[in-house]
């Protein structure tokens, strides 16, 4: 659902979405086995022609496009995050932060590498990484607030 909320950027083939937020939340709630499987099923739905990608686009050949690296990065992130943060609601905020940075980093790295095949390394950084850093910082901050809020509530109950 969060891929449907997208803001196209006139200078980039990659839109702003809440997909990385959704991947992190799924990874922390579904765990190490179910999270990557859930994201892989999402990509499979797109491969079968369902309108699950950003903006409701139907793209059965998504794995050949400029955003394919980001999609593969979602699976990698969903695999990595539960391993770095097996107990997200009880971990320290530093561990939560570093784990979320690593999970976002893998999405950025794979997305950047694939996008660079289409537009070159320099342009891929300016079109596929830089415009999204501030948004991912905000999304990471929101996730941290929820995790810390949950820890605070647990203290009182």
Tell if the pTM clears 0.85, that is, is over it: yes
Per-residue pLDDT of the chain (157 residues; tens, 9 = 90+): 566 677 878 887 777 888 899 999 999 999 999 999 999 998 998 888 887 876 666 666 778 888 899 999 999 999 999 999 999 988 999 999 999 999 999 999 999 999 999 999 999 999 999 999 999 999 999 999 988 887 666 665 5
The angle subtended at Cα 58 by Cα 55 and Cα 60, nearest 5°, is 140
The 10 Å Cβ neighbour count of residue 64 is 9
Give the Cα separation of 111 and 116 in Å (integer): 8
Cα distance between residue 136 and residue 73, in whole Å: 14
Number of domains observed in the structure of the chain: 1
Domain with residue 19: its CATH number is: 1.10.1760.20
Residue 53 resides in a domain: yes
Q: How many helices (H) and strands (E) does the chain have?
A: 5, 2
- Where in the sequence is the domain holding 58, given as residue range(s)? 6-156
Residue 1 domain-assigned? no
DSSP 3: T
| Max intra-chain CA distance, the chain | 53
Category of 78 on φ-ψ map: left (φ > 0), alpha (ψ -120 to 50) or beta: alpha
> What are 101's two structure tokens?
């940075």
């Amino acid at each position: 659902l969060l891929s449907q909320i997208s803001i196209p950027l006139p200078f980039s083939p990659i839109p702003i979405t809440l997909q990385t937020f959704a991947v992190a939340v799924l990874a922390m709630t579904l765990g190490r086995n179910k999270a990557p499987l859930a994201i892989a099923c999402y990509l499979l739905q797109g491969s079968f022609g369902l309108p699950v990608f950003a903006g409701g686009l139907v793209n059965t050949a998504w794995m050949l496009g400029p955003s394919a690296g980001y999609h593969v990065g979602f699976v990698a992130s969903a695999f990595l995050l539960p391993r770095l943060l097996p107990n997200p609601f009880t971990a320290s905020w530093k561990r939560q932060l570093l784990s979320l940075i690593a999970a976002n980093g893998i999405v950025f790295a794979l997305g950047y590498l694939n996008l660079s095949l289409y537009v070159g390394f320099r342009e891929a950084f300016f079109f596929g990484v830089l415009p999204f850093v501030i948004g991912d910082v905000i999304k990471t901050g929101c996730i941290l607030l929820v995790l810390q809020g949950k820890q605070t509530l647990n203290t009182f109950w």
